[in-house]
Chains A and B, each alone.
Chain A
């Protein structure tokens, strides 16, 4: 027996958080992700004792996450673009202190307060930095609600495996739309703590210290080298991607999240017109599948990168391709979503007729 449910993206993420044994949620409402907090608050009977707290601000909620994660708990927060911007300081602290947590960003149109419609404008913020210092977030970009649900569970696993914050990067459309999802069974909450968790000092070990402050530059550099070694290891082991009709493709559409779904339809239309087009979708944005895109670039004639921003992942695609084939770009911003027909038109205009 499997349990199928018709669910809204945000509510599905909230349900998945409960089911993956999350211990605490701290957040602040912002459209288009408010339903996560609303769902957790509404179904208090489902939560098995999980703490759900509406903090006074995004800055407060990320620091509550920092504290709870330091205690070795499974903890998460969620927000949308402007709220995630407010959280950047805390995220940098958590990354330096090497604490596991789940961050959910349901992206909306920017810059500024922007719109509340879907966008993918936070790629740079999430993948290239956002906060200060040399840190990385493991970033998962689901394109369906089913993936969003599965990635919540995966995100907690990766966060604890690597002691690193994991960002679930999805856009307003996936947060707001309704889709059929298969839910995984309820997982146990944490009963045994990791050795680094600050849960009080027993007599048989030294006290655990969690900090992102180092008074001596030698220590700070050591921490940085340790972090970078960890990131290189993540790059080796955790790359995830999806290919669609890429085996015999002469051209490839690249895109992450929602756009990849539109690109698949566009690829089908293009195939009917006689162009052999495939779709390459990075699932992990950090670590980015550079090698896999480079391998495809050796076999094809051109790449069209499609995003709901003005070309952010485009830079990584170009780095991966490394000049082997032309890389063109089509993007919509501010909450507008490209249509499959529009993508095919741009593909013919920018690659075929060029």
Chain B
């Protein structure tokens, strides 16, 4: 079986630097950047190659701006989890 590695893409312009993902990451791959985005927030960046694609960061991100990929060693990218802007997608109707 091919070895699986993870990768993430962060929409840095929407990041507010709350660091929830950094504390949820079991591999310590996420840290705050030294630069700021256009809103002035220090954003999250991936700092090493230890990502396993566990999706923890994407699940806890309140802004829903982390897209997780898993790739096999032969280089084929397999997209497994995308959680985009939660505000637009989650609508719960509750019966009283």
Contacts and interface: CB of A to CB of B under 8 A. Distances in A.
Contacts of B18: 176
B1 interface: no
A324 to B, nearest CB: 41
Interface in B23-69: 39-41, 62-63
Given A6-B87, A176-B16, A116 B92 contact: no
Nearest to B38: A31
A178 interface: yes
Contact of B87 (A3, A5, A116): A5
Contact of A7 (B40, B41, B87, B96): B87
A11 B16 contact: no
B93 A1 contact: yes
B16 A178 contact: no
A34 interface: yes
B39 A31 contact: yes
B87 A8 contact: yes
Contacts of B86: 6, 178
B72 to A, nearest CB: 34
Classify the secondary structure of B's interface with A.
loop
A178 B87 CA distance: 9
A4 B87 CA distance: 11
A2 B41 contact: no
Interface residues of A, number: 16
B95 interface: yes
Contacts of A3: 91, 93
B90 A5 contact: yes
Interface string A193-205: 0000000000000
A176 B16 CA distance: 8
Please give me the 6 A-B residue pairs with the lowest Cβ-Cβ distance, nearest first: A178-B62, A31-B39, A4-B92, A6-B90, A116-B40, A31-B40
Given A3-B93, A6-B90, A176-B18, 20 more contacts: A1-B93, A1-B94, A1-B96, A2-B94, A2-B96, A4-B91, A4-B93, A5-B90, A6-B86, A6-B87, A7-B87, A8-B63, A31-B41, A32-B16, A116-B40, A116-B41, A176-B16, A178-B62, A178-B63, A178-B86
29 contacts: A1-B94, A1-B96, A2-B93, A2-B94, A3-B91, A3-B93, A4-B92, A4-B93, A4-B94, A5-B87, A5-B90, A5-B91, A6-B86, A6-B87, A6-B90, A8-B62, A8-B63, A8-B87, A11-B87, A31-B39, A31-B40, A31-B41, A34-B39, A116-B40, A116-B41, A177-B62, A178-B62, A178-B63, A178-B87
Interface of B: 16, 18, 39-41, 62-63, 86-87, 90-96
